[in-house]
A and B are shown apart, each in its own frame.
Chain A
Amino acid sequence: MEQELQILWAAVTAYVLAGVVAVVGVVLGKRPERSVLALMLAGLALQTLSIGLRWDRLGHGPFITMFEILCSNVWSLMAAYSLAYWRIARIRATAAIVMPLMFVMLGWLMVAHPGEGHYPPTYNTPWLYIHIGLGKVFLGAVLVAVGLSCVILMRHAGIGRQRLAHLPASPQLDELAFRCMAIGLIFHTLMLIAGAIWAQDAWGRYWAWDPLETWAFIT
């Protein structure tokens, strides 16, 4: 377990460096985009290795404990944002906003107990992977939208207008954020449907208004 955690620490360090470089770049009016992307990808590679080692050791994916769920969410959010960062060059400056948001989750991950949990027999179904996979896309799309929306809000509030000037105009960012949220809505709905199928098979009810389901519905 120690090796997994050391590799995870290295991944977290790479993410933090990516965030710091992104923020410093915006503040100083520089565009260190290649460095940021390289650091994010290095972090992703290291975290993938850490998750893979843990998966191999425990015989199940990161689905059980809070540590595992946070770790898997950090991985998927970084994967989604890295993809957006790579493919949509015009919005790269949003890394200065998105990465500090990720720091919160990284901090939570670092204080979570990395011990293992019991893998319940009800998790032994392909619907688990479908449900979680769809949820990852939903969260990733929403993270990109959050970054874009924060830029619009900051401009409205008169914060960093000059430093964020090379980003597209707010109506364009709004349109892109709306599209990301639309993707999020579709995948969130699909995630709920897959979760309902899983719940029906595993617990004999597709919906029970438990706290997790209720919050997912409200979202």
Chain B
Amino acid sequence: MVRAVKEGKATEGSVDRAWAVLTIAPERRPASAGILRLLASLRLTLALIALLGCGVAFAYLREGARTWPLVVPLVLLALNLLAAVLTNGVFRRQTELLVFHLALIVLLLLVAAGRLTYLNGYVGVTEGVPFDGTLSDSDQGPLHAGDLARVHFVNKGFRIDYAPGLQRGATRNEVAWAGPDGRWHEELIGDQTPLVLSGYRFYTTFNKGFAPTFRWRNAHGADLRGSVQLPPYPLKEYSQAAEWTPPGSALSIWVMLDIDEILLDPAEHTTFRLPERYRLVVRIGRDRHEMRPGESLQTAEGTLEFEGLRSWMGYRVFYDWTLPWLLAACALAVVSLAAHFWRKFTAKPWDA
């Protein structure tokens, strides 16, 4: 306001208001203006960018610290930029530049909000077995408020073709999911197309494999079903084994799939499929058994029945509600910056 009076651009009303500010609060105004100017310092911007760099490096090195080392410098940078916008007269004269900086502030705050509320996770889902909202691995922001427990879908199988040399082609995964009305919907997802449910995005990964499915009948007659996801295939072709503990039991069951055929021939075009010739080796303590689909095994704690082999698909789970807003803010920032340059460059030729 004072700058406007000096430049002779103020209206009579604004001069009065400026005078009122100076006379009513003569001591407070310089102090607040001083703080604002301090906050708007370009040196502070450089220091905060360096702090953000350190935060990124820290978050990169320590998996457990991926929120606050990023959020704090981002918010401080937003405040620094906001103070610069408030104190620098150039923003009031150049609308495009003002919009660009406001978009930058929004971007910084959105990225910070995203870090506070994100979720990253991983889950393997066996074909035909509903996803129950439990992830096998995840990390999330401290303010994550999504409701993954209400997300349900079923992996209905997938198709992946391989070119010679085991070069993986497109992944086409059929899924069925329950809508808010309780009705089931079917969808084909894959490499570029995630399944999006309640803001959670499920991406297929290159992790997939085989899952022997069992029926477990305990000593009390309770009947439970479960599947053992063996290590990814063909990535870990020669270590198709895993340990499993049936629900409500202390029994440790070691399961190994011994495939007696070439499933994915590196010399030919081929497709991922379940093996037809295989042996399922089950070891409980020192006892070793070979099971075929439909066969049962009596143990001290119950009966184990091998139902058959299914496939499983690994999904990367991602949640960040800020995504569309980030894109909008980025678009606004670029358009306003381009408009600023356009206005500046068209005002006079470069060789004038």
**Residues of chain A having any CB pair with chain B under 8 Å:** 90, 118, 120-122, 124-125, 168, 172, 175-176, 179, 182-183, 185-186, 189-190, 193, 197, 200-206, 209
Q: Is there contact, CB below 8 Å, between B350 and A204?
A: no
Cα A90 to Cα B349 with chains together (Å): 13
Q: Is there contact, CB below 8 Å, between A182 and B192?
A: no
Q: B207 at interface (Cβ–Cβ under 8 A)?
A: no
A209 with B60, Cβ < 8 A, contacts A168-B351, A176-B350, A193-B331 known: yes
CB neighbours of B316 from chain A (8 A):
203-204
CB neighbours of A121 from chain B (8 A):
168-171, 190-191
Cα A185 to Cα B163 with chains together (Å): 40
CB neighbours of B191 from chain A (8 A):
121-122, 124, 202
CB neighbours of B193 from chain A (8 A):
201
CB neighbours of A200 from chain B (8 A):
323
Q: Is there contact, CB below 8 Å, between A206 and B60?
A: no
CB neighbours of B351 from chain A (8 A):
90, 168, 172, 175-176
Cα A175 to Cα B345 with chains together (Å): 10
Cα A186 to Cα B341 with chains together (Å): 9
Cα A131 to Cα B166 with chains together (Å): 28
Contact-residue size bin, chain B (C-beta under 8 Å from the other chain) = 20 to 34
B313-332 vs A, CB cutoff 8 Å, 1 = contact: the mask equals 00011100001001100110
Closest to B59 in A: A209
A10 CB → nearest B CB, Å: 32
Cα A201 to Cα B56 with chains together (Å): 23
Instruction: Give 8 closest A-B pairs by Cβ, nearest first.
Output: A204-B203, A204-B316, A121-B170, A176-B350, A121-B191, A118-B167, A182-B341, A175-B350
Q: 11 extra interchain contacts, Cβ-Cβ under 8 A, other than A200-B323, A201-B193, A204-B318? A: A122-B192, A124-B192, A175-B350, A185-B337, A186-B334, A189-B334, A190-B334, A193-B334, A202-B191, A203-B203, A204-B203
Query: What are 22 contact pairs spanning A and B, CB under 8 A?
Result: A121-B168, A121-B169, A121-B171, A124-B192, A125-B192, A168-B351, A172-B350, A172-B351, A175-B350, A176-B350, A176-B351, A179-B341, A179-B350, A183-B341, A186-B334, A186-B337, A189-B334, A189-B337, A201-B192, A204-B317, A205-B120, A209-B60
B20-38 vs A, CB cutoff 8 Å, 1 = contact: the mask equals 0000000000000000000
Cα A122 to Cα B193 with chains together (Å): 10
A201 with B194, Cβ < 8 A, contacts A118-B167, A124-B170, A176-B351 known: yes
Q: B90 at interface (Cβ–Cβ under 8 A)?
A: no
CB neighbours of A189 from chain B (8 A):
330, 333-334, 337
Q: B144 at interface (Cβ–Cβ under 8 A)?
A: no
Cα A162 to Cα B83 with chains together (Å): 49
B346 CB → nearest A CB, Å: 11
CB neighbours of B331 from chain A (8 A):
193
Best-surrounded residue of A183, A190, A200, A201 (most CB of chain B within 10 A)? A200
Q: Is there contact, CB below 8 Å, between B337 and A204?
A: no
Partner of A206, one of B56, B168, B323: B323
Cα A74 to Cα B255 with chains together (Å): 55
B331 CB → nearest A CB, Å: 7
Q: Is there contact, CB below 8 Å, between B194 and A204?
A: yes
CB neighbours of B327 from chain A (8 A):
193, 197
Partner of A205, one of B167, B318, B330: B318
Closest to A176 in B: B350
CB neighbours of A203 from chain B (8 A):
203, 316
CB neighbours of A175 from chain B (8 A):
350-351
CB neighbours of B165 from chain A (8 A):
118
A94 CB → nearest B CB, Å: 14
Q: B201 at interface (Cβ–Cβ under 8 A)?
A: yes
Q: B284 at interface (Cβ–Cβ under 8 A)?
A: no
